[in-house]
Amino acid sequence: MNDMRQMTALGRKIEEDSFSIIDQEAAGHPWPPAEWQIVRRVVHATGDFDFIHTMVLSPQAVTAGIAALRAGAPILADVQMVAAGLNAQRLAAFGCQTHCMISDEDVIALAKERGTTRAVEAVAKAARLGLLNGAIVAVGNAPTALLEAARQIQEEGARPALVVGVPVGFVSAAESKENLLALEVPSIVARGRKGGSAIAVAVIHALLALAVEENKSGGKPEGKVW
């Protein structure tokens, strides 16, 4: 598989220079090489070095994420902004498809009927369709989606391969992340109120880069720049 890069030479140089600047300014950070590729892409996507200190990766998060991508796992996005930001070609090369159900008519109807949110009902629908088990759940915008994913794990026995919990906001955002961290599930979290769809996308793209590298090397990724 090739890495399917679509950048021009100048665009690639700008990206590489950006990563170099981040490496220089973040010298002495505590992250191991592979995990640093994820954190560094979050910093790159946001321009915010605070994420070096607020990102939390569970011990098996990187391994689980790479394995899920290589197995063609579905990607469940909480909102269209996450789905739109993901590189469909790179995902398709591994056999992965992105699903986002927040605008489905039945999801909207159930949210109104039950007095919940579309984000909650979208995750519940994914669970009913069997899409949560083995999936990468990417929550960048809606804390209620993350709360429902956690409920599905705790109460319904759902077993996603990885949960990326980085919703932004002032109501339940920080709390939903702490709730996820308390569960025994591979997770990548941006603690506190900060987050966003761009961060969820950055995390998935970093995992894709590591999965491509692992394919090329035939072994454990060393955390090189894609």
Q: What proportion of the chain, given as a percentage, has pLDDT over 90?
A: 87
DSSP string, 123-140: HHHHHHTT-STT-EEEES
Q: What count of other Cβ atoms lies within 10 Å of the Cβ of residue 159?
A: 12
Q: Tell me the pTM.
A: 0.91
The winner for highest mean pLDDT among 13-27, 101-115, 209-223 is 101-115
- Please tell me the predicted confidence (pLDDT) of residue 172: 96
- Please tell me the predicted confidence (pLDDT) of residue 6: 63
- Please tell me the predicted confidence (pLDDT) of residue 168: 97
Question: Domains along the chain?
Answer: 9-217 (3.40.50.10230)
Answer yes or no: is pLDDT of 33 > 60: yes
Query: Please, what sign has the CA dihedral across residues 146, 136, 17, 6?
Result: negative
Active site residues: 44
Band (11; pLDDT cuts 50, 70, 90): confident
Answer yes or no: is pLDDT of 2 > 70: no
